[in-house]
């Protein structure tokens, strides 16, 4: 299974970019290619305590023996720019670095999901059942992006009330942690990495895209999955679509909507089966996988009941709420808030439901979309919404009652304390990758077509805009490729071949010039077809059956133009 997981919660002050690049070039020129031999440390792990410089505290630098599935390595935990911010909140940029005793000369930064706030394990899992990057000999690092999501008086999202915390989360922590990690690597091994990579999904994918746009000198290769590169817009769209579903949901005795009952599991199964029946064969094979995404023109109106609601149809109100979600909600002036979503086979899964409707049988809302109410209030709106009475208020009331049109202005708003809007600070929507491309960086994007939170169509639209900016499909494919994963939910799950390795093809592309023409993916045990393998194809190519051989194996399929 893919394990570059969005749910693992999981500053530019030191070393100018030009100097760092020059040092890297000198070191690389005098060493063998990464991976040809393993490299041993030149100092003891605890000596890294002395690397604490201005505005950095090394809390731990300890050798770790091989144990718990991890190899022998040096573990470093450090905190940068510790300070007291708004409302007395304590802030610091956490760094969690692991340095293997047998190093392959490479470095991987693991981006985290959610809104960061947790100093994760940081051994960097590449997916496809492959060993972690640390176990493969890479030096690995991760960060909490400058804050803790531990619940406080205002809840975990209250870091967004602090202007500097927004900037650190948006992009600065990526830069500072990368520089400091390289400093530790050079001290420990006596040299810098020959190649550097970034892996992340969801918010981690956003971090990867921000690095290609803001700090193109840092990484040779970036794998960005389900990238949350328009996080504020998506957060508001989540509120708007939730209001649509809440409006048609039955009411609990307390008068609040039972959101999970707006569409029952049977309703969503009915919808999913109709989508598959309508779109599956557009790729030439009825196999439960919709490879020809652009050809799917499904409308839920085909399922609308002519009269009373029955088990074989959807009510008019349900159809309208679905259209509001899939087509993308708008402001009162008709401005689309976020991208539309594709109709796909994975929309009846528990993974989709957990994000959009939740599973609570009463008015206690546990949908992820709704739980980010405080994030919309504190992190995305400028000035931030007045502090909510509690996290419960955010869950029950804020998403349900927020004025979507006013909030839309808020996510683009500024203030004296926050001269950049959240869209400017947090989004990574630019298609100017010229500097990243010039240094021969490679960007591997992947996105599940049944992702309920960040739309695959938004990523596809970004890639099309990148193609226009870069001069065409051929030119773009030289440095950036997008792989759509039919049926996959957010970063993993769903009726999909969602088990695949992103690090190996990225390394081959960067170091050997072998661009990924296809990535083999495998279905997990809970899918309708355990063990099935298929190629994931770089857009605009799609997987097509050769006409002979088992449809359960990737060898029977070719990536071709639609």
Given a contact cutoff of 8 angstroms between Cβ atoms, the answer to whether 63 and 72 are in contact is yes
E strand intervals along 386-518: 442-448, 480-485
Task: Catalytic residue, from 451, 458, 498, 501: name it.
Answer: 451
490 included as an active-site residue: yes
How far apart, in Å, are the Cα atoms of 169 and each of 175, 380, 427? Answer: 11, 12, 11
Given a contact cutoff of 8 angstroms between Cβ atoms, the answer to whether 428 and 206 are in contact is yes
287 included as an active-site residue: no
Task: Catalytic residue, from 73, 96, 218, 490: name it.
Answer: 490
277 CA to centre of own chain: 30
Counting Cβ atoms within 10 Å, is residue 1 exposed (0-12), middle (13-18) or buried (19+)?
Answer: middle
Q: Is 347 left (phi over 0), alpha (psi -120 to 50) or beta?
A: alpha
Which one, of 204, 174, 245, lies nearest residue 113 by Cα? Answer: 204
Q: Is 445 helix (H, G, I), strand (E, B) or coil?
A: strand
323 CA to centre of own chain: 25
218 included as an active-site residue: no
How far apart, in Å, are the Cα atoms of 342 and each of 231, 292, 314, 435? Answer: 18, 11, 19, 32
For 3-63, the three-class secondary structure string (H helix, E strand, C coil) is CCCCCCCCCCCCCCHHHHHHHHHHHHHCCCCCCCCCECCCCCHHHHHHHCCCCEEEEEEEE
Structure tokens, 490: 């957010």
Task: Catalytic residue, from 5, 202, 421, 422: name it.
Answer: 202
Structure tokens, 450: 């049944």
Count of alpha carbons within 13 Å of 210, Cβ hemisphere only? 28
How far apart CA 313 and CA 271 sit, in angstroms, is 9
E strand intervals along 295-366: none
Residue positions annotated with a catalytic role: 202, 451, 490
């Amino acid at each position: 299974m893919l394990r570059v997981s969005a749910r693992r919660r999981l500053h530019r002050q030191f070393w100018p970019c030009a100097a760092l690049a020059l040092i890297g070039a000198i070191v690389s020129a005098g060493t063998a290619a990464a991976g040809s031999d393993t490299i041993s440390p030149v100092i003891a792990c605890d000596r890294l305590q002395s690397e604490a410089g201005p505005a950095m505290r090394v809390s731990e630098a300890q050798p770790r023996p091989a144990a718990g599935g991890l190899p022998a390595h040096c573990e470093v935990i450090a905190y940068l720019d510790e300070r007291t911010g708004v409302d007395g909140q304590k802030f610091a940029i956490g760094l969690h670095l692991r340095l293997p005793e047998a190093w392959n000369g490479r470095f991987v930064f693991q981006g985290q999901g959610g809104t960061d706030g947790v100093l994760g394990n940081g051994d960097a899992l590449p997916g496809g059942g492959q060993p972690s990057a640390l176990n493969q000999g890479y030096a690995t690092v991760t960060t909490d992006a400058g804050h803790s999501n531990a619940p406080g008086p205002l809840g975990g999202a209250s870091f967004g009330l602090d202007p500097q915390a927004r900037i650190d989360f948006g992009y600065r922590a990526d830069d500072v942690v990368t520089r400091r990690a390289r400093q530790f690597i050079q001290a420990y091994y006596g040299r810098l990495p020959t190649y550097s990579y970034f892996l992340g999904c969801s918010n981690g994918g956003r971090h990867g895209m921000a690095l290609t746009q803001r700090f193109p000198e840092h990484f040779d290769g970036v794998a960005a999955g389900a990238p949350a590169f328009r996080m504020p817009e998506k957060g508001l769209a989540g509120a708007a679509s939730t209001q649509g579903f809440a409006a048609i949901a039955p009411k609990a005795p307390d008068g609040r909507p039972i959101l999970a009952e707006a569409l029952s599991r049977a309703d969503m199964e009915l919808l999913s089966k109709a989508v598959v029946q309508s779109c599956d064969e557009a790729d030439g094979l009825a196999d439960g996988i919709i490879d020809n995404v652009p050809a799917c023109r499904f409308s839920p109106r085909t399922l609308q009941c002519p009269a009373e609601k029955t088990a074989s149809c959807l009510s008019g109100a349900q159809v309208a709420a679905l259209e509001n979600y899939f087509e993308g909600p708008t402001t009162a002036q008709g401005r689309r808030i976020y991208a539309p979503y594709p109709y796909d086979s994975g929309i009846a899964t528990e993974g989709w439901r957990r994000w959009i409707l939740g599973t609570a049988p009463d008015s206690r809302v546990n949908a992820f979309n709704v739980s980010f109410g405080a994030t919309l209030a504190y992190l995305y709106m400028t000035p931030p919404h007045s502090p909510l009475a509690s996290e419960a208020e955010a869950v029950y009331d804020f998403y349900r009652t927020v004025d979507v049109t006013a909030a839309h202005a808020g996510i683009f708003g500024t203030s004296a304390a926050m001269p950049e809007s959240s869209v400017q600070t947090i989004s990574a929507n630019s298609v100017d990758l010229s500097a990243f491309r010039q240094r021969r960086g490679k960007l591997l994007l992947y996105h599940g077509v049944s992702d309920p939170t960040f739309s695959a169509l938004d990523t596809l639209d970004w890639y099309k805009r990148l193609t226009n900016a870069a001069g065409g499909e051929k030119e773009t494919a030289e440095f950036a490729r997008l792989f759509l994963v039919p049926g996959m939910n957010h970063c993993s799950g769903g009726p999909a071949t969602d088990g695949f390795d992103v690090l190996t093809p990225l390394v081959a592309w960067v170091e050997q010039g072998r661009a990924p023409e296809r990535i083999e993916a495998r279905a997990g045990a809970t899918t309708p077809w355990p063990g099935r393998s298929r190629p994931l194809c770089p857009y605009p190519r799609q997987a097509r059956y050769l006409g002979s051989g088992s449809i359960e194996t990737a060898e029977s399929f070719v990536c071709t133009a639609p």
